Amino acid sequence: MGVCIYVDGNFYTDKEKATISVYDHGFLYGDGIFEGIRAYNGRIFKLKEHIKRLYQSAVSILLTIPLAPAKIEELVIETCRRTGEKDIYIRLVVSRGKGDLGLDPRKCPKPTIIIIADKITLYPPEKYQNGVSVITSSIRRNRPDTLTAQVKSLNYLNNILAKVETYRYGADEAIMLNDEGYVSEATADNIFIIKNSNKLYTPPAYLGILEGITRGCVMELASKMGYTVIEEPFTTHDIFTAEECFLTGTGAELIPVIEIDERIIGDGKPGKHFKKLLAGYQELTRSEGVPIC
């Protein structure tokens, strides 16, 4: 399968040749931002929305992206085109750039722009068919007043620590709580639960979640399908007693949760509401997007 990587004006098809400086502050300090994007059947899904969020993250951390959004969009399309593939995972990264060994961002005169067009597999196919098990992590989500989740930053250590805990307990994923004990999100995905058959619940942004683009798609789809979509705080007890639960994210797409902390959710199988929403989402990804060629 074809791979293409753009780094500051150059395209590479050899992963080993696509390099950055060890003095890049994205590498040294996690000082940067990113977006994960997908292309389906030759169309890049929600490209403009992802680029808009990238620039919003940049504003929040006082990072000036040296190219206009239209140019970034053009580069993403060209990087994808050079893979020769139709189904692609894209990682768009903007770091503070090369500086010195100090923290001072003023020592980084030029941000580094990287676009990786490759594949991603977060879960094996059988997990999408049979569902995943999750635990409640002891690692609390960062408070919004310390590092807001609305900035999709390169600093993912909070999430990684929860992911490490996941594997230590033999689970597939972890649910992270905020500092008050409310459910926020999984390590890299948003969470939804179904209650009372037609009510779809998801945590609100102020609980320390990233307002995911896949999350937004699912909420819009659900509303059109007649579900009542509710953004309000809930606890793990609400997941224990939910009819269905599933996670959403660009990388994972939609994946059902069948067990949390050794409690079986619903009948322990992916539910009819999840399947209905998944079918709607898949139809969207097949029919919408910016053409690669």
Domain range for residue 143? 125-287
CA 153 centroid distance within chain? 11
Whether residues 137 and 277 fall in one domain: yes
pTM, rounded to two decimals:
0.95
* Cβ proximity of 246 and 257 under 8 Å: yes
**Whether 157 and 67 share a structural domain:** no
Domains in the chain, number: 2
Instruction: Tell me the catalytic residues.
Output: 152
Average pLDDT rounded to a whole number, residues 280-292: 95
Cβ contacts of residue 102 below 8 Å, gap of 6+?
none
**Amino acid identity, residue 175?**
I
Question: Residue 143 carries which DSSP code?
Answer: P
- CATH number of residue 103's parent domain: 3.30.470.10
* Tens digits of residue pLDDT in 92-139: 999 999 999 999 999 999 999 999 999 999 899 999 999 999 999 999
One domain for residues 16 and 107: yes
Residue 293 resides in a domain: no
21 near 98, Cβ under 8 Å?
Answer: yes
The b-or-e profile of 101-116 (16+ CB within 10 A means b, else e) is: eeeebeebeebbbbbb
**Whether residue 104 is found in the same domain as residue 8:** yes
Amino acid present at 81: R
Helix axes 47-60, 213-224, angle to 10 degrees: 130
- Is there a contact between 271 and 256 (Cβ–Cβ < 8 Å)? yes
CB count within 10 Å of CB 138 equals 11
Q: Report the distance separating Cα 122 and Cα 69, nearest Å.
A: 29
pLDDT tens-digit readout, 209-245: 999 999 999 999 999 999 999 999 999 999 999 999 9
